[in-house]
Amino acid sequence: MRIRRAILLLTTITTGYLAMFAATFWVLMPVQQNLSLDVLPFAQTTSLVILTHGVRMVVTWLWRWQAVPLLLPGAAVEALILQFHFNLPTSDCLLMTAAFATNSFIAFELARTLGWNEYASAGKLANWRSLVLIGILASLINSAFLAQMQFESSDPLLPFVLAVNVLIGDTFGLILWLLMLRSLLRVVVRSGLLSFWA
């Protein structure tokens, strides 16, 4: 029964993760590219609303260290698609997979080490502002990973520009996710659906 539940959870999270990646990469980014063109230097490469960051943060908030293996399949598929799309070396694919699967857990653990434990627990209300701040920290960690990638460009500012765009995209993606989650929780509580699980 536990194995079946774990497989169901892994499948659900991976499906949700990849759906958010598809929405970001094949819906939001084309719209952004058409609207921004010369205004945003990285509009062709990085979305300014990265929905997968919200998935990573919420999954880590709920499942702590177990989030890493739960996020790994989705992160690996995302990295593979990005590798093929941008013609990146295998080392960059591995680097992106590691970054996407672990950045939120590293951020939560750094915060916990500093006495700021924001993991979900019974009887503890979610602190949305804290989750956004930890999400920003996770995005900075993500950017540090991505800065190690091998860019084929003579522009020395390229990694910095990418990091800024990733930070903006991750933060907006997380805020959007938390707003959706908050709205969903309100609907569930007001509709009395929680009584079915009691």
**Nearest C-alpha neighbor of 27 from the set 179, 167, 173:** 173
Burial letters 140-178, b for 16+ CB under 10 A, else e: ebbbebbeebeeeeeeeebbeebbebbbbbbbbbbbebb
pLDDT at 100: 96
Task: Please report the pLDDT score of residue 195 as a whole number.
Answer: 47
The predicted pLDDT at position 165 comes to 82
Closest CA to 56 of 116, 154, 136: 136
* 148's tokens: 């190690």
Q: What angle do CA 151, 157, 160 make, to 5 degrees?
A: 85
Residue 28, helix vs strand vs coil: helix
Report helix, strand or coil for 149: coil
User: CA torsion sign, 127 to 136 to 100 to 50?
Assistant: positive
**Contact by Cβ (8 Å): 132, 171:** yes
Cα(60)–Cα(118) distance, integer angstroms: 10
- The tens-digit pLDDT sequence of the chain (198 residues) is 588 888 999 999 999 999 999 999 999 888 887 776 565 655 556 788 899 999 999 999 999 999 999 999 999 999 999 999 888 899 999 999 999 999 999 999 999 999 999 998 887 877 889 999 999 999 999 988 888 887 665 566 767 777 888 888 899 999 998 888 888 777 766 766 444 434
The CA-based dihedral angle spanning residues 187, 183, 180, 18, taken in that order and rounded to the nearest 10 degrees: -20
- The span from the CA of 61 to the CA of 102, in Å, is 13
